[in-house]
Amino acid sequence: MYDWLAAARGLLPVRRSVRIGVTGLARSGKTALLTSIAANLLAAGAGLPALPALSARLAGRSFRVAVAPGGAKDLPRFDTATQLAALARDPPAWPGRTQTISALDLDIEIGRPRLLAALPPQRVRLELLDYPGEWLLDLPLLGLGFGAWSAGVLRRLEKRPQAAEFLSFIGALSLRTGADETLARAGHRLYRALLSNLRDTAGLSLLQPGRFLMPPPGGEPPWLEFFPLTTEAPLADLLRARYDAYVQAVHAQLMAPSFGRIDRLVVLADLLSALHAGPAAFADATAALAEVVQALQWRGPSMLPDWLGALLGLGITRVAFVASKADHVAERQRGNLAALAAAVSRLPMSSGLRTAAFAVAAVRCTEDVVWTLDGHPVSAVRGRVVGAERAGRSWPGEVPDRPPGPEFWEHPFLALPDFEPMRLPLGGKGGLPHVNLDTLLAFLLEDVL
């Protein structure tokens, strides 16, 4: 019924905005996804066969796409042309770590079916945001006080040998430790270095606050200098005040009109890398995703009945849980990968919410091949590893269709090389090769199409 109502809104002669929140932990593939969405929608709008599942839905209706003018928007624009040019270079370059927020707006015009041909085309502005993945993990802080947050963090750190120096620093603080700025700074520096270390050497994701790893642009305000502490010392009062100011700043940014309402959500997860990094990193990544999905529920359909919310376009109505970089495995494994994404997502179910899981490669780097191992055919992929002269074969192993048990980790998930994007004809103007991006878009835009 919701799609029907949403389609009814599409009949109005005004431009609709559809805002898609693309969320994902650091390095999960958000910038690559946004670039690919833009490049492939622009190519499809130019009549090229870049998104077959979308074209099938259009059934011959006209489809035009343009990058929207910047107007007086207060957010920097997502630089599609530069991102695409980098991918189309020889050798191609992947996007760097995203350092701040930017907005990608696309204007879409869809012709009416024959019966309604007299009406002007349906006009939709697609709005997407790119931002550093680390910041996503600040969402759960909105519902947590300093004490509860500190206790959770310190509990997790106890299991990590890398945390020894920081833990002994806070262990040396007593109930009488004063609100000393120098001490706060020393603890903050140790904690921040520890977060970087856990990210870069242990492959962990559940690292908070996110802005410690990826600070916002501009100078750092003094309230950024805190660290988790459960000791009830005067120093803790200073740290608590700073934590509260941090959470306030995150809240203010989320409430800004540019963030405002999101109608659809994509949760990207690099599950293959998490499997490759081992059981601790996999458990950590899925815990981080669970925290984020939980925190996003406050943006779910509003207090209104679902049908009314859908009619008015309030709240999130569609959630896609996406396992990214699916070109690391062959087609036969991608069904399992999508099933794994569905299993780890534990998406909140509400009657106003449509959810689905996908295995997607935004920028396909490989082709499927069959390889003979000990006389048995196995489906593998073939692609060029970054810096390599020629393309080679890769077989990362079987993808489990649910969070794996201990026996899986005895035969670890094999290599997961850093592939280079394929060389692009037409400098990317023909779109980017992908896996299942079209089915993902057809789901997200089902009512629009």
Site residues, ligand GTP (CB under 6 A): 24, 26-32, 94-95, 97-98, 132-133, 324-325, 327-328, 361-363, 365, 418-419
Q: Which does 330 bind (CB under 5 to 8 A by kind): Mg ion, ligand GTP, none?
A: none
Q: Which does 325 bind (CB under 5 to 8 A by kind): ligand GTP, Mg ion, none?
A: ligand GTP
Distance CA 167, CA 164 (A): 5
Q: Does the footprint of Mg ion cover residue 80 (CB under 5 A)?
A: no
Answer for the pair 170, 187: CB distance below 8 angstroms, yes or no.
Answer: yes
Q: Output 16 or 328, the one with its CB closest to ligand GTP.
A: 328
Strand bridging mode 354-359 / 122-130: unpaired
Q: Which does 55 bind (CB under 5 to 8 A by kind): ligand GTP, Mg ion, none?
A: none
The arrangement of strands across the sheet holding 392-394 comes to 366-373, 376-383, 392-394
Other CB atoms within 10 A of residue 1 CB = 11
Residue given tokens 């992929």 in the structure block: 381
Q: Which does 396 bind (CB under 5 to 8 A by kind): ligand GTP, Mg ion, none?
A: none
Q: Which does 233 bind (CB under 5 to 8 A by kind): Mg ion, ligand GTP, none?
A: none
β-partners of residue 361 are: 435
Q: Does the footprint of Mg ion cover residue 31 (CB under 5 A)?
A: yes
β-partners of residue 378 are: 371
Residue with the shortest CB distance to ligand GTP: 133
What is each CA distance from 267 to 21, 324, 351, in whole angstroms? 8, 10, 19
Q: Does the footprint of Mg ion cover residue 324 (CB under 5 A)?
A: no
Q: Output 98 or 208, the one with its CB closest to Mg ion.
A: 98
Name residues contacting Mg ion, limited to 360-399 (CB under 5 A).
none
Q: Output 239 or 266, the one with its CB closest to ligand GTP.
A: 266
Q: Output 22 or 65, the one with its CB closest to Mg ion.
A: 22
**Phi, psi angles (nearest 5°) of residue 373:** -115, 120
The minimum distance between CB 33 and ligand GTP, in angstroms, equals 7
The minimum distance between CB 270 and Mg ion, in angstroms, equals 12
State the distance between the two ends of the chain, measured CA to CA, in whole angstroms.
15
Q: Output 95 or 400, the one with its CB closest to ligand GTP.
A: 95
Greatest pairwise CA separation for the chain in angstroms: 78
**Phi, psi angles (nearest 5°) of residue 71:** 55, -140
Options 36, 98, 208, 436; binder of Mg ion; rule CB under 5 A: 98
Angle formed by the axes of helices 80-88 and 30-45, nearest 10°: 90
Which residues are near Mg ion by CB under 5 A? Answer: 30-31, 98
